[in-house]
Amino acid sequence: MSSKLREATAGDSDECALDMSPMIDMVFLLLIFFVVNSSQAIVKQDSDVRPPVASFGKKQEDKNGRIVVNVFKDGTFASERGLALASDEDIFEMVKKAKEENDLKSYKSKLHLRGDKDAVFKFSRKVIAVSAKAGVDQVMFATYSTDK
């Protein structure tokens, strides 16, 4: 009886074929899903700022939530996008706005301070104090690290 059933259901060939098109569709859907949901964090560097060299510096892995402020050697400040920050109020507003955007994305805001190696630390201290008033209390200093 079973042989009659096999003969009735079997085609001309004895080979068993598996349709791979749904599997390929699923792979492409997963690929598109991960590409769309991934976020790329790029920190733009100002060529006029030359960070100091640190022999024991370590690279920060989490790039989300960074608020970049460039400190030039003459004591002027600029945002990551090159917007000049002339006063404490400008720094406060820029940091506060960036913090609000990070809060919407559920990122922990961190001040990424890119100070020139010839800049006096009191300029950096000023940015840190204003950022603390805006609600950002974590600070990262940008440095070049050397091979150990």
Q: Please check whether residues 132 and 85 belong to one and the same domain.
A: yes
pLDDT band at 96 (very low <50, low <70, confident <90, very high): very high
- Answer left, alpha or beta for residue 113, where phi above 0 means left and psi between -120 and 50 means alpha: beta
Domain of residue 11 covers: 2-37
The residues with which 114 forms a beta bridge, in sequence order, are 70
Residue 43 is assigned to a structural domain of this protein: no
Encode pLDDT of 34-69 as tens digits: 888 776 656 566 666 767 677 777 777 777 888 888
Q: Show the tokens assigned to 73.
A: 């050697």
Our count of domains for the chain comes to: 2
Indicate whether 33 and 57 sit together in one domain. no
25 and 71 in a single domain? The answer is: no
